[in-house]
């Protein structure tokens, strides 16, 4: 009988080698062996992500997140919803936002802050909320060109020329630190 660690390693090796059926079998066995541990679910999610099966990630993780409520599962579920929302499936926008906001209650993360801001900016046109989230992301990762450009866009859309000037100065200062 394999241990959880062995199943996880077997699944990861199969995933790297693009032997997806073997990876699914190993990670499923891990979830059956230890249903209260997130590792098997996260492994399955990585397989589904690599094979562009984001709906399967949602089907897998939705009940698990409610049961285990870990930051990693929330982030993964939010990302699956975000990918589908960005593909034009608007029904996933609010679900992605809810997952990411709950995740941020547990852990601050510059990338998740950015993704959440982009959901508000692109799908909700809530530029103020997006701008505030982008500033938080900037605090976590000063010097991110992606965050800077998105924040600049929001400040411009809000008609906040003072904020545009402030952002440009912050950008300039971040460049001189390098």
Structural domains in the chain, sorted by start: 109-178 (1.25.40.10)
Q: What value, to the nearest 5°, has the Cα angle with vertex 53 and ends 51 and 56? A: 135
Choose among 138, 139, 161: nearest CA to 150. 138
pLDDT (0 to 100) of residue 2? 83
Q: What is the pLDDT along the chain (178 residues), one digit of tens a residue?
A: 689 999 999 999 999 999 999 999 999 999 999 999 999 999 999 999 999 999 999 999 999 999 998 999 999 999 999 999 999 999 999 999 999 999 999 999 999 999 999 999 999 999 999 999 999 999 999 889 999 999 999 999 999 999 999 999 999 988 886 5
What is the secondary structure of 132-167 as a DSSP string? Answer: HHHHHHHHHSTT-HHHHHHHHHHHHHTT-HHHHHHH
pLDDT (0 to 100) of residue 96? 98
Choose among 162, 147, 97, 86: nearest CA to 122. 86
**What is the dihedral angle through the alpha carbons of 109, 114, 118, 121, rounded to the nearest 10 degrees?**
100
């Amino acid at each position: 009988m394999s241990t959880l660690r062995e199943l996880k390693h077997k699944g990861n090796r199969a995933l790297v080698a693009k032997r997806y059926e073997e990876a699914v079998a190993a990670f499923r066995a891990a979830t059956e062996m230890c249903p209260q541990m997130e590792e098997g679910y996260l492994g399955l999610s990585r397989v589904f992500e690599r094979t562009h099966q984001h709906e399967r990630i949602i089907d897998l993780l939705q009940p698990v997140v409610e049961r285990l409520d870990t930051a990693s599962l929330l982030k993964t579920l939010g990302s699956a919803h975000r990918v589908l929302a960005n593909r034009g499936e608007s029904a996933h926008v609010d679900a992605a936002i809810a997952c990411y906001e709950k995740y941020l209650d547990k852990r601050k993360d510059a990338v998740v802050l950015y993704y959440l801001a982009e959901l508000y900016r692109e799908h909700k046109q809530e530029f103020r909320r997006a701008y505030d989230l982008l500033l938080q992301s900037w605090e976590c990762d000063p010097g991110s060109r992606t965050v800077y450009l998105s924040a600049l866009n929001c400040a411009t859309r809000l008609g906040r020329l003072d904020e545009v000037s402030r952002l440009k100065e912050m950008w300039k200062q971040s460049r001189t630190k390098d």
